[in-house]
Amino acid sequence: MSETAIGFIGLIALFALLFLRVPVAMAMLVVGFFGTAAMNGYGAALSTLGSEAFEISVTLPLTVIPLFVLMGNLAGVSGMSRDLFNAAYCWVGHWRGGLASATIVGCAGFAALSGSSIASAVTMGRVALPEMKRFNYADSLATGAVAAGGTLGILIPPSTGLIIYAILTEQSIGRLFMAGIIPGILLTCLFLIAISIVTRIKPELGPVGPVSSMPERWASLRRSVTIVGIVLATIGGIYMGIFTPVEAAGVGAVLTFLVALYRKSLDRAKMKFVILQTLGTTATVFMILIGAHVFIPFMALTHLPADMVTFLVNLDVGKTGVLFLILGIYIVLGTFLEGLAMLVLTLPVVFEVITQLGMSPIWFGIVVVIVLEMGLISPPVGVNVFVVKSVAQDVPMGTIFRGIWPFWIAMGVCLIILVAFPEIATFLPDTMFDD
């Protein structure tokens, strides 16, 4: 049997396992191990498994994952998420659809602390959904805003998605973090515009809320100033060259812990919850990376990725045509594959194509993450939709999916803008004081 045939059989087996709901890390581990064994023997397969698992476990840059996850979990239990939502609501709650807009702004702020789309959706959903129900918001707009707002967690730094992209492609985590800031702000603004448009067309979706007084607005800002300070200390420190991403993660986790202690919001039960959530998320990410580093060498042995790279590069459609073809494939895959699974499966091929075509790997990282965001809310496997469903159990799944379409379109517009103007993503990384 040819090497290419073995590669195709491996891919079919992988997708079959994924459709059978086998966790992506385990699916890649199994296919990669037995595929390597089929080609080079069990000795080589065991050697790959042992060496790659050890290498991932001791990779220093990956320390940022548990530290930033810890920071986000501490922010959630300390009431920072509610402070963010309240501050946003005081300033924009009197707009039509103001509560939904406040949810988006709150999600963007919380994303800068957590780096997780699921954490952002769950945390802000628990805060915002009861308020929107109280003011008679349509379930579609309310749940759609939470699901879409949560996706900002993998774009706005510190982003777990950008960290994984950096590790798999050997790019600078700090530069990718900086690249995500302006697109994150742009996407947040596009979400707000989407809410404004749909509530103008159908005012009943998001009623106007009460107007907050100026003293109330300033008071809400004072309560949220600690969050802004932590974000500036971590992300600003990376930009200025004061901290490495690992150091910034440590500083952010310590500062958030001190704020939680000052607010007396940590007890034994909450601390246990924070630790278990941090360990669970970290273990999941590390297992995915270990699985990817066992699967990718197997694919390299089959020469299938190299053949696919050659095919795509030689297509007579130009660089832009190849890019849109790749993005189209990502959008289709995002309808039935979980985001991180899609990332680790496709990058060995796609990244090589991008580099051979002379495109910026930093810019492409942001583009890929936005496409992953679209997958997080795309039917039928939109992870964030299922997360919101777990918080709003009385809302039908179809209602939630109807509510995400304005935001999905906003993501598409953001993607087009970034393709047309790559400088939006590359400006801040190019001006960093230290790389």
User: Would you say residue 34 lies in a domain?
Assistant: no
Coil vs helix vs strand at 49: helix
Give the phi and the psi of residue 208 in degrees, each rounded to 5.
Answer: -70, 135
Q: Are 28 and 293 in contact (CB under 8 A)?
A: no
DSSP state of 205: G
Q: Quick one: tokens of 248?
A: 């910034």
Q: Which amino acid is at 78?
A: S
Q: What digits encode the pLDDT tens for the residues 56-72?
A: 777 777 888 888 888 88
Res 435 pLDDT > 60: no
CA atoms of 94 and 58, how far apart (whole Å): 50
Q: What digits encode the pLDDT tens for the residues 101-126?
A: 888 988 888 888 777 777 778 878 88
Res 95 pLDDT > 90: no
User: Would you say residue 44 lies in a domain?
Assistant: no
Binning pLDDT at 50, 70 and 90, where does residue 18 land? confident
User: Would you say residue 35 lies in a domain?
Assistant: no
Q: Quick one: tokens of 394?
A: 């009385």
Residue of 378, 377, 372 lying closest to 341 (CA atoms): 372
Alpha carbon of 397 to those of 6, 176, 332, 402: distances in Å?
39, 34, 20, 9
Q: What is the pLDDT of residue 364?
A: 92
CA atoms of 135 and 207, how far apart (whole Å): 7
Q: What is the mean pLDDT of the chain?
A: 85
Mean pLDDT, rounded, for 87-101: 83
CA atoms of 289 and 54, how far apart (whole Å): 11
Q: Which amino acid is at 298?
A: F
CA atoms of 306 and 291, how far apart (whole Å): 20
Mean pLDDT, rounded, for 151-162: 84
User: Would you say residue 30 lies in a domain?
Assistant: no
Residue 357 has, within 13 A of its CA and on its CB side, a CA count of: 26
User: Which residue range(s) make up the domain with 292?
Assistant: 61-430
Percent of the chain residues topping a pLDDT of 70: 99
User: Would you say residue 71 lies in a domain?
Assistant: yes
User: Would you say residue 79 lies in a domain?
Assistant: yes
Count of domains in the chain?
A: 1
Binning pLDDT at 50, 70 and 90, where does residue 332 land? confident
Res 182 pLDDT > 90: yes
Binning pLDDT at 50, 70 and 90, where does residue 434 land? low
Q: What digits encode the pLDDT tens for the residues 263-294?
A: 888 888 888 988 998 888 888 888 888 888 88
- The 3-class secondary structure across 354-397, one letter per residue, is HHHCCCCHHHHHHHHHHHHHHHHCCCCCCHHHHHHHHHCCCCCH
Q: What is the pLDDT of residue 433?
A: 64
CA atoms of 155 and 115, how far apart (whole Å): 8
Q: Which amino acid is at 173?
A: I
User: Would you say residue 5 lies in a domain?
Assistant: no
Q: What digits encode the pLDDT tens for the residues 232-262?
A: 888 888 888 888 888 888 998 899 899 888 8
CA atoms of 423 and 430, how far apart (whole Å): 9
Binning pLDDT at 50, 70 and 90, where does residue 406 land? very high
User: Would you say residue 29 lies in a domain?
Assistant: no
CA atoms of 343 and 116, how far apart (whole Å): 15
Res 1 pLDDT > 70: no
User: Residues for the chain: how many in total?
Assistant: 435
Res 426 pLDDT > 70: yes
